[in-house]
């Protein structure tokens, strides 16, 4: 049995990316959850929370637990995992909190197992966590979390993930301090869409992918439009239209709701613009007295990262 202790840094992600509901996502730098993991000599998962979110520690009720149980089902070894979780990504914020936990845990477990599984296997396991968190097995946060960069989920079943090369982009994340559960934000959506709206939407998805691959910022900008989901979900986010229209007027390439919200993302070509948009958003929320957290960061091209702890250190508590 491997007695390594590892630290996993699992990044926040932006899913949907305006036009790509459930099929597009990208990873963010600077915002990570941390998991300290090791193998234990009995089957099962032990979860220890090192933050104040009070998430359940019963493995079947925790996205880390359920994803690791799915992985354990596919190995015969009499082992399990202990996970100490420190979340910095607030649950219900819209930047892939549950995906960071689920994807980080299975990625870390795979490292401890000397990489027995492929990335797509790991995505399959972590999708169990997403189902627990939101009622739907969407992979648009998990895939970029694991692969880094932009990813296209061409198909969920069978899984078909395509990493998309992208230029360097700056991102402003604007998180008004309300909570929106992904399950609620999914339940308000219409089951059917008009053909005319669908035509515009798949034009934009194709345009966004082409723009990213050609480093064509104008095309990226024209394609960051969502005719189907944003008009419905944006009603749940105070001042969404004002923040978006002021950001676009100031020079953002585009943006929209991050995942199922309430966070918004705005993409810029340079850091100066991304910082300008942060100021604009803060001013809007100050005016209505709603606290708002912001991040200015950029595209994370590496995905989940592992740091190996010194195997000789016996008391891992001293490391936390
Ligand atoms: N595609 C998912 C949704 C992402 O919008 O419901 C949730 O983060």
Q: How far are the Cα atoms of 21, 86, 150, 211 from residue 141, in angstroms, in the given order?
A: 11, 19, 10, 21
The pocket around ligand 1, CB under 6 angstroms, is made up of: 15-16, 21-22, 138, 140-141, 182, 185-186, 259-260
Per-residue pLDDT at 2: 82
Atom of ligand 1 nearest to the CA of 140: 1
Among 12, 15, 143, 236, which is best to mutate for testing ligand 1, by the most ligand atoms less than 8 A from CB? 15
Does position 168 have pLDDT exceeding 50, yes or no? yes
| Per-residue confidence band for 298, with pLDDT thresholds at 50, 70 and 90 | very high
Per-residue pLDDT at 311: 52
Does position 223 have pLDDT exceeding 50, yes or no? yes
Closest CA to 116 of 80, 159, 71: 71
Residue-wise pLDDT tens digits, 23-48: 999 999 999 999 999 999 999 999 99
Does position 320 have pLDDT exceeding 90, yes or no? no
Closest CA to 178 of 74, 262, 84, 66: 262
List, in sequence order, every beta strand (DSSP E) within the chain: 6-15, 24-40, 44-49, 80-86, 150-156, 159-164, 170-176, 254-257, 264-268, 292-298, 305-308
Read out DSSP for 254-306?
Answer: EEEE-TTSS-EEEEESSHHHHHHHHHHHHHHHHHHT--EEEEEEEB-SS-SEE
Per-residue burial over 229-247, b = 16 or more CB atoms within 10 Å of its CB, e = otherwise: bbeebbebbebbeebbebb
CATH, range 5-164+301-313: 3.30.230.10
CATH class held by domain 170-298: alpha beta
- pLDDT average, residue stretch 47-71: 96
Does position 137 have pLDDT exceeding 70, yes or no? yes
| Per-residue confidence band for 3, with pLDDT thresholds at 50, 70 and 90 | confident
Helix axis angle for 240-250 and 271-288, nearest 10°, is: 150
- pLDDT average, residue stretch 174-179: 96
Q: What SS3 state is found at 52?
A: coil
- pLDDT average, residue stretch 289-304: 97
List, in sequence order, every beta strand (DSSP E) within 71-217: 80-86, 150-156, 159-164, 170-176
Closest CA to 143 of 132, 158, 157, 156: 156
Does position 158 have pLDDT exceeding 50, yes or no? yes
Residue-wise pLDDT tens digits, 70-126: 999 999 999 999 999 999 999 999 999 999 999 999 999 999 999 999 999 999 999
Burial class (CB in 10 A: 0-12, 13-18, 19+), 19: buried
As annotated, the active-site residues are: 130, 182
Per-residue pLDDT at 1: 73
Question: Please, which residues have CB within 8 angstroms of residue 52's CB and are 6 or more apart in sequence?
Answer: none
Atom of ligand 1 nearest to the CA of 94: 8
164, 152 contact by CB (below 8 A)? yes
- pLDDT average, residue stretch 288-300: 97
Measuring from atom 1 of ligand 1, which residue has the nearest CA? 22
Dihedral over Cα of 168, 298, 148, 18: its sign: negative
Distance of alpha carbon 305 from alpha carbon 264, whole angstroms: 25
Structure tokens, 3 = 């007695």
* Ligand 1 center–CA 79 separation, angstroms: 33
DSSP 234: G
Distance of alpha carbon 311 from alpha carbon 38, whole angstroms: 11
pTM for this prediction? 0.95
Residue-wise pLDDT tens digits, 231-264: 999 999 999 999 999 999 999 999 999 999 999 9
Distance of alpha carbon 144 from alpha carbon 28, whole angstroms: 9
Domain ranges of the chain: 5-164+301-313, 170-298
Per-residue pLDDT at 34: 98
Per-residue pLDDT at 312: 46
Distance of alpha carbon 93 from alpha carbon 41, whole angstroms: 36
How confident is the prediction for the chain on average, in pLDDT?
A: 95
| Per-residue confidence band for 317, with pLDDT thresholds at 50, 70 and 90 | low
């Amino acid at each position: 049995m491997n007695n390594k202790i590892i630290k996993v840094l699992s990044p926040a992600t932006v899913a949907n990316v305006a036009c790509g509901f459930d099929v597009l996502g990208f990873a963010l730098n600077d915002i990570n959850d941390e998991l300290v993991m090791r193998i234990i000599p009995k089957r099962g998962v032990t979860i220890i929370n090192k933050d104040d979110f009070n998430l359940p520690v019963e493995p079947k009720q925790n996205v880390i637990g359920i994803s690791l149980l799915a992985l354990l089902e596919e190995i015969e070894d009499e082992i399990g995992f202990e996970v100490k979780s420190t979340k910095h990504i607030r649950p219900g914020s819209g930047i892939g909190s549950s995906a960071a936990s689920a994807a980080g845990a299975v990625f870390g477990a795979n490292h401890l197992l000397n990489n027995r599984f492929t990335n797509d296997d790991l995505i399959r396991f972590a999708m169990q966590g997403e189902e627990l968190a939101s009622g739907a097995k969407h992979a648009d946060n998990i895939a970029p979390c694991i692969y880094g960069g932009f990813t296209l989920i061409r198909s969920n079943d069978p899984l078909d993930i395509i990493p998309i090369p992208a230029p360097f982009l700056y991102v402003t994340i604007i998180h008004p301090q309300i909570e929106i559960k992904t399950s609620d934000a999914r339940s308000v959506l219409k089951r059917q869409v008009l053909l005319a709206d669908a035509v515009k939407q798949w034009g934009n998805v194709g345009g966004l992918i082409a723009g990213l691959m050609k480093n064509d910022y104008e095309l990226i900008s024209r394609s960051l439009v969502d005719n189907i989901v944003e008009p419905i979900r944006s009603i749940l986010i105070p001042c969404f239209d004002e923040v978006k229209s002021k950001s676009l007027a100031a020079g953002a390439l585009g943006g929209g709701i991050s995942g199922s919200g309430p966070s918004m993302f705005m993409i810029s070509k340079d850091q100066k613009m991304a910082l300008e948009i942060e100021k604009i958003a803060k001013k809007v929320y100050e005016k209505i007295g709603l606290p708002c957290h912001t991040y200015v960061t950029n595209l994370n091209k590496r995905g989940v990262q592992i740091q190996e702890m010194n195997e000789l250190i016996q008391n891992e508590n001293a490391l936390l």
